[in-house]
Amino acid sequence: MTTEASLEGRVALVTGASRGIGLAIAQGVVERGGRVVISSRSESNLAEALSTFSDARSVHAVVAHVGSRQDADRLVTETIERFGRLDILVNNAATNPYFGPLVDIDDARMQKTYEVNQASIVTHTAAAWHQWMGEHGGVVLNIASVGGLGPEPGLGWYNVTKAAVIHLTKQFAWELAPKVRVNAIAPGVVRTDLARGLWEKNEDLLTGHIPMRRLGEPDDVAEMALMLVSDSSSWITGQTIVIDGGTTNQPSGGVG
């Protein structure tokens, strides 16, 4: 039995893949023999991301707005046109434009967070299903958050959308089986640009409450992601795997 899940011949689409967790997953797909389409709203960020791949023939970048259903359809279409198939969809893109009490959030930031974090799971999964996976099968992986498991100061609306991602994972897993497996990963605090406001000035304080005594890195999440989208996980669907260094698994009172 191999310890590294092969993705030889597979084609993946990863949203929000110009940096952080999405980029790490995309790089892992190529390292394991697959091909990948990466998407982002920023053309310059995508160009920088492309430069990190050693095999340019295995990677294609598409500028797209993850909150747009039209862009979701176009993104899936272009993936199939470029590489001839779509085996893996990773719904990774996320945003968090608001920090504060739920009672004070404005409509614009509430809607943006909903469109990117929650609605995009539906639109991209639907596009993948209708254009390829409904006939040929495949795997969907959603990137949720430990924030979706409970309340947290300042991050209420973001966490609500991530709780929705966890439920959408269960719903899609039930609806799309047995053709398509659907799972999710719920990371804790990972050293990414999206989470920079949480860890940059508070790393020592944060790591003091993490049993593994360090922040997560994008590769920590990517390794689990690559296993979940491979045949190594062929009997796993509808599950959310927590990767948080043990933060959510502590006795009352926390770690001393």
Give the single-character DSSP code of 210. Answer: S
> What is residue 3's predicted lDDT score, i.e. its pLDDT?
46
Please state the domain extents for the chain: 11-243
Instruction: Yes or no: say if 151 and 103 are a contact pair by the CB < 8 Å rule.
Output: no
DSSP string across 129-194: IIIIIHHH-EEEEEE--GGGGS--TT-HHHHHHHHHHHHHHHHHHHHHTTTEEEEEEEE-SBSSST
Tell whether the torsion through CA atoms of 39, 43, 45 and 50 is positive or negative: positive
> What is residue 229's predicted lDDT score, i.e. its pLDDT?
98
> What is residue 246's predicted lDDT score, i.e. its pLDDT?
87
Spatial separation of the C-alpha atoms in residues 143 and 225, rounded to whole Å: 9
Query: Which pLDDT tens digits describe the chain residue by residue (256 residues)?
Result: 344 689 999 999 999 999 999 999 999 999 999 999 999 999 999 999 999 998 889 999 999 999 999 999 999 999 999 999 999 999 999 999 999 999 999 999 999 999 999 999 999 999 999 999 999 999 999 999 999 999 989 999 999 999 999 999 999 999 999 999 999 999 988 877 665 556 556 766 777 678 888 888 999 999 999 999 999 999 999 999 999 888 888 776 544 4
Distances (CA, A) of 207 to 145, 154, 196, 226, 252: 17, 19, 14, 26, 18
Instruction: Yes or no: say if 183 and 233 are a contact pair by the CB < 8 Å rule.
Output: yes
Tokens of 151: 């309340």
Tokens of 20: 């952080």
Q: Which residues contact 8 (CB under 8 A, 6 or more apart)?
A: 32, 33, 34
> What is residue 1's predicted lDDT score, i.e. its pLDDT?
37
Homologous superfamily, domain 11-243: NAD(P)-binding Rossmann-like Domain (3.40.50.720)
Length of the chain (residues): 256
Report the catalytic residues.
158
Residue 91, classed as helix, strand or coil, is: strand
Instruction: Yes or no: say if 10 and 31 are a contact pair by the CB < 8 Å rule.
Output: no
Would you give the distance in Å from CA 220 to the centre of its chain? 13
Instruction: Indicate the residue type of 157.
Output: W
> What is residue 194's predicted lDDT score, i.e. its pLDDT?
66
